[in-house]
Every structure is written in structure tokens, then in C-alpha cells.
Amino acid sequence: MLDSKIPKGPLKDKWTQHKNSIKLVNPANKRKYHIIVVGTGLAGSSAAATLAELGYNVRVFCIQDSPRRAHSVAAQGGINAAKNYPNDGDSIQRLFYDTIKGGDFRSREANVYRLAEVSNSIIDQCVAQGVPFAREYSGYLDNRSFGGAQVSRTFYARGQTGQQLLLGAYSALSKEVGKGAVKIYPRTEMLDLIVIDGVARGIVTRNLLTGAIESHAADAVVLATGGYSNAFYLSTNAKACNVTAIWRAHKKGAYFANPCYTQIHPTCIPVHGEYQSKLTLMSESLRNDGRVWVPKKSGDRRRANDIPEDERDYYLEEKYPSFGNLVPRDLASRNAKEQCDQGKGVGATGQAVYLDFAEAIGRLGKDVIKERYGNLFDMYQKITDVDPYKEPMMIYPALHYTMGGLWVDYHLMSNLPGLFVIGEANFSDHGANRLGASALMQGLADGYFILPYTIADYLAGCPAGRVETDLDEFRTAEKQAEEKTEKLLNINGKRTVDSFHRELGKVLWEYCGMARNEKGLKAALGRVGEVRGEFWENAIVPGAGNDLNQSLEYAGRVADFLEFSECMVHDALSRRESCGGHFREESQTQEGEALRKDKDFAYVAAWEFKGVGENPILHKEDLKFEEVELSQRSYK
Ligand SMILES: Cc1cc2nc3c(=O)[nH]c(=O)nc-3n(C[C@H](O)[C@H](O)[C@H](O)COP(=O)(O)OP(=O)(O)OC[C@H]3O[C@@H](n4cnc5c(N)ncnc54)[C@H](O)[C@@H]3O)c2cc1C
């Protein structure tokens, strides 16, 4: 049975009391401990800077040429916090409740409450670092609304919130580099986790410029390696996002939790062709002012501006009057699909709906809209050659975020002692559906305010500096990493790695995407195995292993996606209920909404690896709700 180590006591006091009772490491002893942080997005950078400031020795690894290029820079819309500056009734309790409900009651109460509680400290810290959040006329930080909330609690820096937050975290990190407390290893990919006697003791890496395979030992390893949306090939994530670090840790014994909980974001630029390699997000903030609609008549091929008002179906406003266009992402996505399935989709493919700003421009003026969303409008126009100030945008759902990840307890430690997982890489606080602007909040909460406390509790119980890299376990793992590299280079087949990845993505999108059913998932399981089999027979990976070789890097990541996808499909298959981003067609209400089955499925599914192509073993963590009452989610 998995022990989540949730502290006792009233929900509101758990974190404070826990911080007061967990073990500390004496300041003079901190410098004797070595911590590895893999990943320099918001989660990794904030954790590394804070741990170093506390006095630990920190080594940080990332695959980009600079920590500042981590995928977190892509975050556009904002970060949530319960400051209640607009005085519209927000509170920690409301942020907690919205997040639990938004996640369709499939996350831990204690974690989510803690997240809401520390949200305000994140804003204070970032402001102190100089993050240029937008401000309103009084000088207070401005807020806007995101889906699944009836208050404005999203702090933002135009459409570049992630980038500005990462610059803040990076300057904090740079200070520690200057002090000698942090050493950064850019262009270095973690290929394996070293586990000795069941405890995480280090990692094996590949230098992406020279191909050198190296070992690094530490007293604790922190994975902050982001999400795995790119398993689906087309996603809004940066092309380098991958599952490799957490999948390889999983193969070494770390449980993978809820892999089938993936988020499909409703407002992305639609797919326009077979050879597209990437999808672009249009921030959810646009739904503050943009109205979603389709023509009432199916097959209506007129241009948007030629369709009169009374022939338009503003289906979200109609169906969900309380939340309108700001329903959570899972609902907005499923409803868009439903409209397109009924033949009301627009554009050349019929796989799109409109997001229209005409009413907002009429009400507020073009300048205000430009001020709020100017860079997003420019981006849309550059990609589509359509001016969204004059014609509605066309949008369609796309893979965007993964709520699943490595299982962690309340301390953010995996089932392997010494292995901590933070940010999008862990199974997180978002249950089956993440609300907009909550990922940045969670990554920074983990890195700045939670891990620095909980890791001390672990380290205080272990003597410092126990491991050196000359142990057999490191040699064996290095040899295996080298052999895998050789194996990839020696396949010498005829098909590009990209073509396998694209095929995998199509299988997942078709059978494990916006809607899933038993028959389709079983077909996917078979198909993924076949694609993986052919990959190892017929892929072509050019170049050498002792040099910069991006084809080789990519091949390793696709090989991992091909193994991991089976675990994701197993998870989707075994969860015979609908919840949040996981919509099982066999489990829906009469109105077509997701139908949860709390009696049978109110648990976290944590999977144990049993071999490639073998059925993983399911471990359950029962979710106990003491504060909130489980109810059918309604946004009407
Ligand atoms: C287009 C877009 C817009 C978004 N907008 C918002 C928003 O407005 N608000 C919000 O809350 N959320 C938003 N999100 C989600 C949010 O940006 C991410 O969930 C979050 O930034 C993830 O941060 P992270 O630190 O966990 O991981 P990342 O930022 O993905 O960083 C991962 C790090 O791990 C490193 N890494 C990965 N694998 C390895 C390996 N094997 N070895 C070594 N290093 C490795 C990478 O180099 C990188 O440094 C958005 C997401 C997208 C795609």
C-alpha cells in the first residue's frame, strides 16, 4: 500500500504544523550534502536556487544550451494566486476548492490546500525578484480570469508570463552560480538513474556536444524534467520535451502515476496539414474576451463575417451560462469536438471553431484588446495570415499538458527514497484536469516553498556524502547507456525516426485522445507494440555517438515514448470511468458529460514497471476527502 505521508490534523493547519515538526539540517552540515537537480524550467531553477541559498551543494542539468531556454518560457497566460487584489471574493479556500473541483476530485486534498496556501508567497517572491507583472491603475498587480473560476486571480506579464518568471528564477540561480554553490551542466541529458539498495544515489548523463557518458553521485536526486505531451507527436510543447528522465527512473523502480491524465487545450491553432511538426497555443486568457461559436447549420461554408448573428451558435455560453466561455479546458475541448463531429466545424478541414473578438473590440476598443493580447494576435496573424482584429480566430483542441507523472508523497519524494520529483514531471496536484495558470503556480510552489523543507527531513536522516561514482552500479549503468546508443546507431533501417513518432502520435490521438473506449484502447495497445517492434528493426539513425548528434538524441526519446505509451494506454484501459481529461465513452451522463465512478475509482493509479511490453502492476493510493464533498461537476 502506498503511503502518501499526509500529516494529521485539520486541513488548514497541516502544512504549518508539518513544517514545524519535520527534521532540519544544521546550517554547518548543509554544505556536506550534494543534491542533483535535473531540469531548469520553473520547477528546477527555483528549487536549485533555493537549495543553494540554503547552503546545499547543487548540480543542475538541462538539455538546452542555457537554463533560460527551458520549455517554461513558453507559458503565456499567467499564474494563479489567492491574493484577492480585485476584491471579488477570492480566498485560499476558494482557490483550493476550484482546483480540487477542476481536477474532477482526483487529487489529494492536503496537497491542493498547501498549493493554494503558498500561492501568495510565490507572487511576493517573484515581485521581489523584479518580475514585471502587469499592474492596474492603483499600482496593484492586475489580475485576469482563467477557466474554471468565477474570480480574477491570474497574475500575468503580457503574454510572456513564463519567460518573465523564468528570468526571475534564473537570476536567483545565477547568484548561486556566482557564489560557487551551484554548478550548471547545460547540453547534458540524463540517461539513467542510479539506485543502490533501493535508494536513489545519482544519475548517468550524456554530454550532448561530445557524446561523453558520465556519472554523477549525490545524496538526493530531484527530477524537474517537465511533461510528456510530445508522446502524441503534435502538441503545444517545445519539441525537446520528453519522457526520458522519468521513464528511465520508472524502469529503475519509481512508480508512474495516472499516466492517462493528459490535458487537451481547447484554444490552439488547428492542424493544417500532414507534415506539420508542432502546434501553437493561443492562450486561455483570450477566452476572457473572445467568444466561441460555430454556425448553427452544419456544413455552412460561408466566411465567418458573412454569417449573421442569429445564425451563430455560441454553444458554451448557451450550455454553461454561469461560466460561459470560461469553462475548464476539458469541457471546452470536448464541446468543440462535439460541434465538429456534428459537421459544424469551420475552416478547410472542418476541425475548428471560431474565437471571436468583434464584440470585445466594439465594447472596449482595439487599443485595449491590443494592450491585453497584442503579442498573441501578432503570433496568430504570422502563422495563419489572418488578421484576428478583423476576422475571428480559428481554434481547435491540442495536447498541451500532462497531469500524470512520477508518483510522489506529500514530501514530493517518489517511492524510491532519495528521488524527489517536482513540477510537471510529478503526478501533481491537478487530478484529472489542470486549471489554467495552475502549472506555473505548482512548479514554483514545489521549487521555492515545498521541496526545500521536505528534502531536509530526508537528508537529516542520512549521513552526508555517502556515495562515490566508482561503485559498480555506476559502471554498469554507463555501459548500458553506451550500448543503447550503439544499438540505436546500428539499426540501419529505412524509416525516419520522425515517421515512427508521427505514427505513434496518430495512434494515441485516435484511441487515447479526447475520447477513449475499451475497444479502441485495446487496439492501441496492440498497435503501439507493433510500431515499437518495427522501430527497432527499421529506423534509421544517422551520425555517430561521440559527437553532437540530434538525430540520436531524438531517437532515444522516441524509443522511450514508444515504451511509455503502453503504460499510458494500460492506465486509460483500467480506469473505466470518465474524469476530467480522461473521457471514457462508456461512462457519461445523459447530457454527455463525464461520469465519474467514485466508489470504484477514487484512487491514484501508480504503476510499477515489469519489463518492456509486459503488463505493469497497479498500486492504488486511495483518495480520502475530508473537507470537500464529491459531487458531479457542474459549470452551468
Ligand atoms: C505553450 C504553453 C503555454 C503555457 N502557458 C501556461 C500558463 O500561462 N500558465 C501556467 O500555469 N502554465 C502554462 N503552461 C504549462 C507550463 O508552462 C508548464 O507546465 C511548466 O512550465 C513546466 O515547468 P517545469 O519546470 O516542470 O518543466 P519545463 O519547463 O518543461 O523544464 C524541463 C527541464 O528539464 C530538462 N530536461 C528534460 N529532460 C531532461 C533530461 N533527460 N536530462 C536533462 N534535462 C532534461 C529541460 O532541459 C528543461 O530544463 C503552458 C504550457 C505550454 C506548452
The single-letter code of the amino acid at 312 is R
Continuous segment of H or E residues that includes residue 360:
helix 358-364
pLDDT at 477 over 80: yes
Report the C-alpha gap between 548 and 397 in whole angstroms: 35
Of the CATH numbers 3.40.1260.10, 1.10.645.10, 1.20.58.100, 3.40.50.2000, which one belongs to the domain with range 481-622? 1.20.58.100
pLDDT band at 66 (very low <50, low <70, confident <90, very high): very high
* Ligand 1 site, residue 481, Cβ cutoff 6 A: no
Q: From ligand 1's centre to the CA of 131, what distance in Å?
A: 18
R_g of the chain, CA atoms, integer Å: 24
The answer to whether the beta carbons of residues 354 and 290 sit under 8 Å apart is no
pLDDT band at 632 (very low <50, low <70, confident <90, very high): confident
Report the C-alpha gap between 203 and 248 in whole angstroms: 10
User: What do you get for the CA distance between the two ends of the chain, in Å?
Assistant: 38
CATH number 3.90.700.10 given to 266-398: yes
Atom of ligand 1 nearest to the CA of 237: 53
Give the 3-state secondary structure of 276-300.
Answer: CCCCCECCHHHHHCCEEEEECCCCC
Q: From ligand 1's centre to the CA of 146, what distance in Å?
A: 19
Q: HSE (CB half, 13 Å, CA atoms) of 292?
A: 34
Q: HSE (CB half, 13 Å, CA atoms) of 77?
A: 25
- In this structure, the residue with its CA closest to atom 4 of ligand 1 is 75
pLDDT band at 308 (very low <50, low <70, confident <90, very high): very high
> Looking at residue 202, what is its pLDDT?
97
Atom of ligand 1 nearest to the CA of 425: 26
Q: Tell me: the pLDDT tens digits for 421-472? A: 999 999 989 999 999 999 999 999 999 999 999 999 999 999 887 678 889 9
pLDDT band at 635 (very low <50, low <70, confident <90, very high): confident
* Ligand 1 site, residue 454, Cβ cutoff 6 A: no
* Ligand 1 site, residue 398, Cβ cutoff 6 A: no
Atom of ligand 1 nearest to the CA of 438: 11
Cα 531–Cα 534–Cα 535 angle in degrees, nearest 5: 85
Neighbouring-strand partners of residue 257: 405, 606
pLDDT at 480 over 80: yes
Contacts for 18-26 with beta carbons within 8 Å, 24 or more apart?
A: 18/410, 19/453, 22/453, 22/454, 22/456, 22/457, 23/456, 23/457, 23/460, 23/461, 24/456, 24/460, 25/456, 25/459, 25/460
* Ligand 1 site, residue 107, Cβ cutoff 6 A: no
Continuous segment of H or E residues that includes residue 435:
none
C-alpha cell at 239: 519539441
* Helix residue spans in 490-517 (DSSP H): 497-512
> Helix (H, G, I), strand (E, B), or coil: what is residue 192?
strand
pLDDT at 625 over 80: yes
Give the 3-state secondary structure of 119-178.
Answer: HHHHHHHHHHHCCCCCECCCCCECCECCCCCCCCCEECCCCCHHHHHHHHHHHHHHHHHH
> Looking at residue 350, what is its pLDDT?
94
> What CA–CA distances, in Å, run from 151 to 83, 157, 226, 309, 636?
11, 18, 28, 29, 16
The predicted model gives 209-234 an average pLDDT of 97
For the chain, the average pLDDT equals: 96
Report the C-alpha gap between 347 and 353 in whole angstroms: 8
The answer to whether the beta carbons of residues 44 and 60 sit under 8 Å apart is yes
C-alpha cell at 403: 497531469
Sequence-distant (6+) residues with CB within 8 A of 543 are 489, 549, 551, 552
User: Which residues of the chain does CATH 3.90.700.10 include?
Assistant: 266-398
Continuous segment of H or E residues that includes residue 516:
none
Torsion of CA 548, 550, 555, 557, to 10 degrees: 100
Q: pLDDT exceeding 90 applies to what percent of the chain?
A: 91
* Ligand 1 site, residue 226, Cβ cutoff 6 A: yes
The answer to whether the beta carbons of residues 432 and 104 sit under 8 Å apart is yes
Q: Tell me: the pLDDT tens digits for 72-94? A: 999 988 999 999 999 999 999 99
Of 142, 139, 82, 70, the C-alpha closest to 112 is 82
Atom of ligand 1 nearest to the CA of 78: 8
* Ligand 1 site, residue 64, Cβ cutoff 6 A: yes
C-alpha cell at 309: 448573428
Q: From ligand 1's centre to the CA of 178, what distance in Å?
A: 25
* Ligand 1 site, residue 221, Cβ cutoff 6 A: no
Q: Tell me: the pLDDT tens digits for 250-283? A: 999 999 999 999 999 999 999 988 888 999 999 8
Sequence-distant (6+) residues with CB within 8 A of 126 are 133, 165, 168, 444
Q: HSE (CB half, 13 Å, CA atoms) of 148?
A: 27
Total Cβ atoms within 10 A of residue 324: 16
The predicted model gives 5-18 an average pLDDT of 97
pLDDT band at 21 (very low <50, low <70, confident <90, very high): very high
φ, ψ (nearest 5 deg) of residue 80: -80, 150
Q: From ligand 1's centre to the CA of 485, what distance in Å?
A: 26
The answer to whether the beta carbons of residues 332 and 355 sit under 8 Å apart is no
> Looking at residue 146, what is its pLDDT?
87
> Looking at residue 283, what is its pLDDT?
86
φ, ψ (nearest 5 deg) of residue 213: -95, 130
Of 602, 611, 563, 250, the C-alpha closest to 407 is 250
User: Which residues of the chain does CATH 1.20.58.100 include?
Assistant: 481-622
pTM of the complete model: 0.96
pLDDT at 591 over 90: no
Q: Tell me: the pLDDT tens digits for 142-201? A: 999 888 889 999 999 988 999 999 999 999 999 999 999 999 999 999 999 999 999 999
The answer to whether the beta carbons of residues 618 and 574 sit under 8 Å apart is yes
Q: From ligand 1's centre to the CA of 72, what distance in Å?
A: 4
**Residues acting as catalytic residues:** 329
> What CA–CA distances, in Å, run from 605 to 111, 114, 116, 296, 400?
17, 22, 24, 41, 21
Helix and strand tally (H, E) in the chain? 18, 21
Q: pLDDT exceeding 70 applies to what percent of the chain?
A: 100
Q: From ligand 1's centre to the CA of 45, what distance in Å?
A: 11
The single-letter code of the amino acid at 585 is E
The answer to whether the beta carbons of residues 19 and 121 sit under 8 Å apart is no
Report the C-alpha gap between 464 and 396 in whole angstroms: 52
pLDDT at 590 over 90: no
* Ligand 1 site, residue 160, Cβ cutoff 6 A: no
